[in-house]
Structure 1
Amino acid sequence: MGNNEGSPSATPSGNKPAVGTDEWHKVRRDNHKEVERRRRETINEGINELAKIVPGCEKNKGSILQRAVQFITQLKENESQNIEKWTLEKLLTEQAIAELSASCDRLKAELSQVYKDLDAWKRCAQRSGLEPSDEDRANAAGNRDDEA
């Protein structure tokens, strides 16, 4: 170990100052300043992006952040109100669909019964010797076309 590899002041890469020296402290301070500068830059970029998105912002960072909080709070309230409104609309729509479906089912059953009654009356008329005239048949055919 003649080349000081184990000592704390050794410089393995050859270009770093020895730990604890004035140069080492300067490099460390400079690195810290650079990291801090990048952190502030990132924060400022974020605040500037907020200012672009949030309406009615001033240039002041504090005002931008306060306005962003107000804006987000308002958006959340609007979302809550919309969810409540849409939930009610969905419920009312589902009720209307259920009522229409039930009405449709009742009308289908009623129509089916009317056709059964009509067939019964036709059989009764035929047993009594009554036949529809050509005019009655033409009218019946015309009525069926109107229904379609």
Structure 2
Amino acid sequence: MSNQAEFERMLRSAALRVTAPRLAVLTAAHAHPHSDTDTILGHVRQTLGAVSHQAVYDVLRALTAAGLLRRIQPMGTVARYETRVGDNHHHLVCRTCGVIVDVECAVGEAPCLTAANDNGFVLDEAEVIYWGQCPACAALPAPLLHP
């Protein structure tokens, strides 16, 4: 789903005006999943030229609120955005290089995990982040330790 007509349809169905910055942010987030704000800003500027950091923040906020983007923020990292929304998938994060990869739901239907005590909450999502090393980083030689 990477064509502009589809993104325009998504914006209209979310009751959002179709604007060049919104289209550029959706295109960047789709082409570069798990990108942070600065990365998305760089791609938007390649497309539109001059655009302010605040404008991109505002678009990201609006698209996230409308459910067109998902904001994730693994512990110790900056917020990142993706277009894969509404399916309660999870993420693998490399502790070495920081790459983030989607992984399907742990088990069963959303929410994937059942809380021992829901305290009266109506649960609709479980967020799981798996941490480790990606294959490329795991294949690197271990650093030498100096006494």
Same fold, TM exceeding 0.5? no
Q: Higher strand fraction: Structure 1 or Structure 2?
A: 2
Q: Higher helix fraction: Structure 1 or Structure 2?
A: 1
Q: TM-score range by the shorter chain?
A: under 0.3
Which of the pair has more CA radius of gyration?
1
| TM-score, with structure 2 as normaliser | 0.19
* Relative contact order higher in (CA < 8 Å, ≥ 6 apart): 2
| TM-score, with structure 1 as normaliser | 0.19
